[in-house]
């Protein structure tokens, strides 16, 4: 089929919870979508739950059941996006444009069955293609999918970002725009560091690290998708028309000045578990982490050291998401019994602070500078991990914000681009 309609650019626009938090914001978003359409685009919209709806639903469930099953949690949480998608479509219709709202069972978004952190395995875009061909603005509930037994799943916190990028890939969209409550990606969370600077262009690999290390502005899974299929993302504000940040593939000859450290991130949803006095024999780590993997608990930093208490014994310390702490400890109990030795201590008063930048590949001394500036701030480092493009430290949670501010200053990230001499 040819004809003008098919040649109009296809834009996926994603709006986060704060952008649709109340009826006025919802109407504002509706007008932005309509403007985009009237500029000559075909629009697919992905929307998150209004404001704090997801958190509120989680709190509500805890009042009913201290340990609610993940399957029912998914059905409950997905309701937030079902509400906002229906309302946003209504807001667009109220302005006289054609729109239709959809939730997971209608969208053909298939996931695995790992409730509360499901992965998208396939998208059948037939229905959406039909809707946009018919001139409808398709308003899709983010964050949710359907598993092989037709049970509702959710994609993990912040998962609407992933819905948006995955739909952009499936529909071969020309652009994917992520509208949020800040003007773009900053050198640190602007709520924590007032001097943080907006980054015009950031590479997929840097954004992937930042997102995985706690900068919740984008969900990490969404960046994995965008990188894999090379879909540039434009992250911008839903409240103003300012240019935002572009998340793009790394350039061979960078157009921009390449900073060594691009940004600082903190993740306060971390917990540390230490298995102490483990027998020092082959297979112990395999048993410990095998059990956690079976329960879909992601383990992050791991440090093994000889026991302080006994010769021939080891301690293994590692971090998990604080939401997984309880389950992880429960899961480890039978493993320790099986090993006939060792005990477990844990703390969720920890946070991970990280510096990220592809420029670190070719520079020595970056980690040392980080440790020095944390030391100067009186922050004790409990664990360290590094990769080519990041350094992360586990510290006390109460020091996280201060540490981020110190690191941001130490690496001069708030500094304006240098002005040419004589200017």
Q: Which one of residues 142, 184, 342, 357 is an interface residue with ligand ASP (CB under 6 A)?
A: 142
Question: Closest Cα partner for 160 from 141, 173, 175?
Answer: 141
Q: Check: CB of residue 24 under 8 Å from CB of residue 55.
A: no
CB of 78 to ligand ASP, least distance (A): 9
Report d(CA 143, CA 154) in Å as an integer: 5
| 259 counts as binding Mg ion under rule CB under 5 A | no
What is the pattern of x (binds Mg ion, CB under 5 A) and - over residues 5-34?
-----------x------------------
Using CB under 6 A, list all residues that contact ligand ADP. 16-19, 48, 158, 180-182, 185-186, 188-191, 215-217, 263
162 binds, among ligand ADP, Mg ion, ligand ASP, none (CB under 5 to 8 A by kind): none
Integer CA distances (angstroms), 276 to 82, 273, 326, in order: 46, 10, 18
What is the pattern of x (binds ligand ASP, CB under 6 A) and - over residues 98-117?
--------------------
Which residues, numbered 153-182, are part of the site for ligand ASP (CB under 6 A)? 157-161
CB of 140 to ligand ADP, least distance (A): 15
342 binds, among Mg ion, ligand ADP, ligand ASP, none (CB under 5 to 8 A by kind): none
Give the pair of three-digit tokens for residue 349.
């008063």
Which residue has its beta carbon closest to ligand ADP? 16
End-to-end CA distance of the chain: 56
Phi, psi of 306 (to 5 degrees): -70, 145
| 158 counts as binding Mg ion under rule CB under 5 A | yes
Instruction: List Cβ neighbours of 351 (8 Å cut-off, separation of 6 or more).
Output: 266, 267, 268, 270, 394, 395, 396, 397, 399, 400, 403
What is the pattern of x (binds ligand ASP, CB under 6 A) and - over residues 37-76?
-----------xx----x----------------------
- Name the segment binding ligand ASP (CB under 6 A); options: 151-159, 165-173, 224-232, 403-411: 151-159
Please report the beta strands in 238-374, taking only residues with DSSP state E, as ranges in sequence order: 245-248, 263-279, 299-306, 313-321, 343-356
Report d(CA 380, CA 38) in Å as an integer: 55
Residue 38's Cβ-count burial label (10 Å; 0-12, 13-18, 19+) is exposed
Report d(CA 90, CA 45) in Å as an integer: 13
Ordered strands of the 109-111 beta sheet: 120-123, 109-111, 144-146, 152-154
74 binds, among Mg ion, ligand ADP, ligand ASP, none (CB under 5 to 8 A by kind): none
Closest to ligand ASP by CB, 8 vs 119, is 119
| 184 counts as binding Mg ion under rule CB under 5 A | no
- Site of interaction with ligand ASP (CB under 6 A): 16-17, 48-49, 54, 80, 142-143, 157-161
């Amino acid at each position: 089929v040819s004809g003008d309609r098919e040649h109009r650019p296809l834009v996926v626009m994603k709006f986060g919870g704060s952008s649709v938090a109340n009826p006025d914001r919802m109407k504002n978003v509706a007008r932005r979508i309509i403007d985009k359409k009237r500029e000559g685009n075909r629009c697919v919209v992905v929307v998150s739950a209004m404001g704090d709806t997801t958190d509120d639903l989680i709190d509500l469930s805890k009042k009913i059941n201290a340990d609610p099953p993940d399957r029912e949690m998914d059905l409950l949480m997905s309701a937030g996006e079902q509400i906002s998608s229906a309302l946003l479509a209504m807001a667009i219709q109220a302005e006289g444009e054609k729109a239709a709202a959809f939730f997971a069972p209608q969208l053909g978004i298939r996931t695995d069955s790992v409730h509360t952190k499901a992965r998208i395995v396939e998208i059948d875009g037939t229905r959406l293609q039909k809707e946009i061909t018919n001139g409808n603005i398709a308003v899709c509930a983010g964050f949710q999918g359907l598993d092989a037994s037709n049970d509702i799943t959710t994609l993990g916190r912040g998962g609407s970002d992933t819905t948006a990028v995955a739909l952009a890939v499936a529909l071969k969209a020309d652009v994917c725009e992520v509208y949020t409550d800040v003007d773009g990606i900053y050198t640190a969370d602007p709520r924590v560091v007032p001097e943080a600077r907006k980054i015009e262009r950031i590479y997929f690999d840097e954004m992937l690290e930042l997102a995985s290390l706690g900068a919740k502005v984008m969900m990490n899974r969404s960046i994995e998708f965008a990188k894999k299929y090379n879909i540039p993302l434009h992250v911008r504000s839903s409240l103003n028309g300012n240019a935002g940040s572009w998340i793009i593939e790394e350039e061979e000859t960078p157009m921009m000045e390449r900073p060594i450290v691009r940004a600082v991130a903190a993740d306060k949803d971390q917990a540390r578990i230490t298995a102490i006095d483990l027998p020092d024999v082959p297979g112990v780590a395999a048993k410990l982490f095998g059990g956690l993997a079976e329960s879909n608990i992601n383990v992050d930093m791991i440090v093994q050291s000889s026991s302080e208490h006994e010769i021939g014994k080891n301690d293994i310390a590692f971090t998990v998401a604080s939401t997984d702490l309880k389950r992880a400890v429960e899961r480890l109990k039978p493993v320790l019994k099986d090993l006939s030795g060792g005990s477990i201590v844990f703390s969720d008063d920890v946070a991970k602070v990280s510096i990220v930048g592809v420029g670190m590949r070719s520079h020595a001394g970056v980690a040392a500078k980080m440790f020095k500036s944390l030391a100067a701030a009186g922050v004790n480092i409990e664990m360290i991990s590094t990769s080519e493009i990041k350094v992360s430290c586990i510290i006390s949670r109460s020091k996280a914000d201060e540490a981020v501010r110190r690191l941001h200053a130490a690496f001069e990230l708030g500094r304006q681009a240098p002005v040419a001499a004589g200017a």
